[in-house]
Structure 1
């Protein structure tokens, strides 16, 4: 998804730094293209569309086109059945992927996931960079993903916000109100309590990150907030496209909310983040660049004993219950520390 595509773009940058004359293509799902816009390390974006899943004829044509490029090396970050078969269809001499019993036959070079991070970059970045070791041992352990925003995009965002903000000296926080799925979304009643707390402590104005089809959840959250907090929510201002969301985020003091693509985009913009993890997500994998600028809360911080008796797979089946244990009261202290700094 969006966070995966943005994070994986570091491989393009690393390759271009090491081999400036190399030609780098990046195969991505169509809806993720905006996070790669203006990226100077990608020579060509190869777009995978929904039609390629629905139509065998379209899929065969796509694979034939890939083979015609005569790639020397293909790196499959996803390493699932679908991407592995595409990887093999390229007929590249060197095909690099992660070692999984159901895909290992598709690759010439295999790497095993590491589960202990070596840097503050986090495992999602480190494991991707390890794939490059099949090419050259001199690649760095980590690179930070980046987004490339134009002056025009920033100017447009500033203009829109200037028209609705009554006091530009107030803090402006982007709120990631929803995760990529319901089992990655902090309960709205809990989030409303945190938003009330933020407004009480800071008098900040709040932007919500959402798309129109999520308006019912937005309205539900809004109604759960106190009347004072509602007055601080710029509910009608939202990114009508992914690029507009990115531009709005550049104008915020921080992004606070669910772990996911929005958090990763904020980090790529060097905007401070406060991330609430789903109980069943492995913290070490996606707590990228956790430091003074990027704070993280996870149920494991408060109920560590649960993680010795339950597997993440089991916890995923009962996400609602485990989320119920991550109460606002547990989070507030860390949140206060964060907002005092940002």
Structure 2
């Protein structure tokens, strides 16, 4: 048995879809289980013991039709028995079509039903703590007679990575007797990034209440934006921010986050990764992102989130997700930190009380 799972694009999607492999391995212990992903997302699924091979989709294949067709023909040579297309977009439609697999599974879309042998309709409402992002992915296993209701993504760090990151933090004067907070200061784009002045106020709250050490999650080409948020913080807060303590790559970020008491900030890949590392999270959703889909495993204690819709539902009257996305930067202005200050205060108190 040879099975290919396709999940391109974003880090959070790739991490979330990796849950399928645990159950595929249990059902087919001797099967070849491969994962087709974008090359930049590999670090979040590296070392997963249930995945045999990673097939990396590059920018060339993404932007060139001839390259995509060549890539698809190469996939066909493996002679997969089953293809599970979680991504379900044009490029993965083509790859699946050319795969030659007898069983082809994806989500129902009226214009792709002829490509797949099983077209699974998405569920629109969750009836347990799992998010729709988890539930709908698990639905894709049903044609293989695998019935699962919930699952938790997991990131696999090596003992060496964890030890090395601890020594790195010690050398940077991190005090492990005091709280350590990782802040997701920037989203994946402007329309998923909490306004800089508001984020600074959130960080001020964290610093004042916990007297903790604050790390920023950013990559080198985002340093200017991260610095702008740092400058907006109060002078006392700035003394608690270790601005130059950050991971130079994704695996280093993961290993550093493993030592933090919580990750707080913009909902997105960093939040999902922290959850997969079993680190507490407080996420601030963009106004246009559906909380029911991406509010993974939230219990208002270990994992907490806030969304403008929770406080001002009238803003959403007669507006589609497309409308909200288009106006996200303007709508963000109504999402004042004061709205969720009490909720953040409680989360921080619960976090530091276990320190």
TM-score interval for Structure 1 and Structure 2 normalised by the shorter chain: over 0.9
TM-score of the aligned structures, taking structure 1 as reference length: 0.97
Distance 1:30 1:151 in 2: 24
Match of 2:323 in 1: 314
Structure 1 residue 73 corresponds to structure 2 residue 66: no
Structure 1 residue 296 corresponds to structure 2 residue 305: yes
Match of 1:181 in 2: 189
Partner of residue 227 from structure 1, selected from 235, 251, 262: 235
Distance 2:116 2:29 in 1: 25
Partner of residue 67 from structure 2, selected from 58, 62, 67: 58
Structure 1 residue 38 corresponds to structure 2 residue 47: yes
Partner of residue 144 from structure 1, selected from 148, 152, 161: 152
CA contact (8 A) 1:7 1:145 kept: yes
Q: Secondary structure at the match of 1:117?
A: coil
Distance 1:101 1:225 in 2: 50
CA contact (8 A) 1:81 1:103 kept: no
Distance 1:169 1:331 in 2: 28
CA contact (8 A) 1:186 1:276 kept: yes
Any stretches of 5+ residues in structure 2 without a counterpart?
A: 1-9
Distance 1:308 1:318 in 2: 14
Distance 1:29 1:316 in 2: 24
Match of 2:213 in 1: 205
Distance 1:250 1:166 in 2: 14
Distance 1:109 1:51 in 2: 30
Partner of residue 18 from structure 1, selected from 27, 31, 38: 27
Alignment of 1:1-342 (within 5 A): 1-136=10-145, 138-165=146-173, 167-291=175-299, 292-342=301-351
Deviation at 1:311, TM superposition (A): 2.0
- Cα 1:166–1:294 change in 2 (3 A) is closer
RMSD, aligned CA: 1.2
CA contact (8 A) 1:14 1:143 kept: no
Any stretches of 5+ residues in structure 1 without a counterpart?
A: none
Q: Secondary structure at the match of 1:24?
A: strand
TM-score of the aligned structures, taking structure 2 as reference length: 0.94
Q: Secondary structure at the match of 1:145?
A: coil
Q: How many residues align?
A: 341
CA contact (8 A) 2:62 2:91 kept: no
Distance 2:247 2:316 in 1: 37
Match of 2:3 in 1: none
Deviation at 1:60, TM superposition (A): 2.9
- Which string of whole-angstrom CA distances, capped at 9 and with x for unpartnered residues, describes residues 59-90 of structure 1? 33321211111111100001111111111110
Q: Choose 87-96 or 56-65, whichever is displaced more.
A: 56-65
Q: Choose 245-254 or 159-168, whichever is displaced more.
A: 159-168
Distance 1:119 1:45 in 2: 31
Distance 1:151 1:171 in 2: 22
Q: Secondary structure at the match of 2:114?
A: helix
Deviation at 1:160, TM superposition (A): 1.2
Deviation at 1:264, TM superposition (A): 0.5
Distance 1:56 1:78 in 2: 18
Q: Secondary structure at the match of 1:198?
A: helix
Q: Secondary structure at the match of 2:181?
A: strand
